[in-house]
Amino acid sequence: MTRLLRHFQSSVGSKVLLALSGLGLVGYVIFHMLGNLQVFEGSRALNSYAAFLRDMPIVLWTARIGLLGIAVIHVALAIHLSLQNRRARPRAYAIHRYRYASIASRTMAASGLVVLLFIVFHLLHLTAGIVGPSPPDRIDADGYRDVYGLLIHAFQNPVIVLIYVAGQVGLAFHLHHAVSSSLQTLGFEHAALNGLLKAAGPSVALLVVLGNVAIILAVFLRIVR
């Protein structure tokens, strides 16, 4: 047990935990996006889906606490590894060479910060209803909380739309590099699969961001109303 703990406290172990926690969060982001796409099926579909989640409070809160723990571990490890890298190289390079580094890989810290700030705003806005103009809780015709109406109200505000789209841009950059890098860290490398693994990050980023932005713009442009 002590040997295993020491392994995860090492630089390599920290990178493995960072990759595992990151992929766990990616899985949730995809699931969350797919669930929200039910807005295109109408209020009954989205509201009943939200009610289904709330009707299982033990499962719901276990998932929430688990996700919060994973997120805290992921952020803490990212900061730890970043500081460790700086201590290992106290003097900055005189000339930066980014020949083999993509923009997404060079901006991981910045995109990660944007995503973190966006998550905090999103929770305070749509989950807690503390930030931003929100209508009082309404009940739909089936007796469910009107989550659909809440989304419609939120994304008719251009300021809210800009904040959410900016958050998706940060998420796109972060996922673009993070997914492929995490798979590489976990040892998923093979000459025959290198192209597929490199495409994993951009593909996941495109899938998630297009899905989320489609919801936001469909409401804003009154395609969904």
Evaluate if residue 81 carries a pLDDT over 60.
yes
Evaluate if residue 4 carries a pLDDT over 50.
no
Structure tokens at 76: 């803490």
For the chain, percent of residues with pLDDT exceeding 90: 48
| pLDDT tens digits for range 30-40 | 999 999 999 99
Q: What region does 210 belong to: left with phi over 0, alpha with psi -120 to 50, or beta?
A: alpha
The pLDDT value recorded for residue 198 is 84
CB atoms under 10 Å from CB of 25, counted, come to: 20
Q: Which domains does the chain have, with CATH numbers?
A: 2-220 (1.20.1300)
Q: What DSSP line would sit under 117-148, residue for residue? A: HHHHHHIIIIIS--SS--PPP-B-TTSSB-HH
Nearest to 168 by CA among 214, 225, 105, 219: 214
Helix (H, G, I), strand (E, B) or coil at 155: coil
Evaluate if residue 144 carries a pLDDT over 90.
no
What average pLDDT does range 36-53 have in this prediction?
93
pLDDT higher for 158 or 129?
158
